[in-house]
Chain A
Amino acid sequence: AQKITQTQPGMFVQEKEAVTLDCTYDTSDQSYGLFWYKQPSSGEMIFLIYQGSYDEQNATEGRYSLNFQKARKSANLVISASQLGDSAMYFCAMREGIFSGGYQKVTFGTGTKLQVIP
């Protein structure tokens, strides 16, 4: 089974509109974390936002917010007031498992390509 599922290969949004990128996850761990990264065409993976499994409030960072629904195992990214510079691939990722070797395994989804239309 896929650990991280992003069902939208591509999305279009009008500039200044809000957009939601979907992410569902699968884990049996009680303690885990969810991330969203942005990857422009230049290639760099840019960290956007993080949500811990025990965090009761949805994470927000500027125009980004994470709609965390634990019972549904979903962690959707909401981008408000889209800008042309938001056009990029967006990856959802999850940290889970035993912390060992200075590391907890991070699994990435297959990404959603967002295009913002002027």
Chain B
Amino acid sequence: DAMVIQNPRYQVTQFGKPVTLSCSQTLNHNVMYWYQQKSSQAPKLLFHYYDKDFNNEADTPDNFQSRRPNTSFCFLDIRSPGLGDAAMYLCATSIAVTGINIQYFGAGTRLSVL
């Protein structure tokens, strides 16, 4: 089945130690997104890629970076995680056409910062 896969499902890192979360998709969608979701809150968009074009949300901290080496893969790099970065990180994909823009999500990576 075509899908969005996030690895790992759970990630523990230390305060200040760089961490990378990965997302892959078999949907061949040209838009990929990263969201941060803290407990009992709505998902918050960090950035998205339209093909190779990177689009950062204005309030996304510089501590968060992303790479998309090809259509299928996208990475979220947190350069110096703080305790406030502990959250669920969700990857999503969509087709870039006007109209519906349904986003399909992965199962998420739950990040803990010690």
Contact = CB atoms under 8 A, between A and B. Distances in A.
Interface of A: 4, 33, 35, 37, 42-47, 50, 52, 91, 95, 99, 101-106, 108-111
B31 interface: yes
Contacts of A111: 40, 42
Contacts of A109: 42
Contacts of B50: 101-103
Contact of A101 (B55, B92, B103, B108): B55
Contacts, number: 69
Interface string B77-91: 000000000001010
30 contacts: A33-B99, A35-B102, A42-B107, A43-B108, A43-B110, A44-B105, A44-B107, A45-B103, A45-B108, A46-B105, A47-B103, A47-B104, A50-B100, A52-B99, A52-B100, A91-B42, A95-B100, A95-B101, A101-B55, A102-B31, A102-B53, A103-B50, A103-B55, A103-B94, A103-B96, A106-B45, A106-B103, A108-B43, A109-B42, A110-B40
A104 B30 CA distance: 14
Chief secondary structure at chain B's binding surface:
loop
Interface of A is mostly: strand
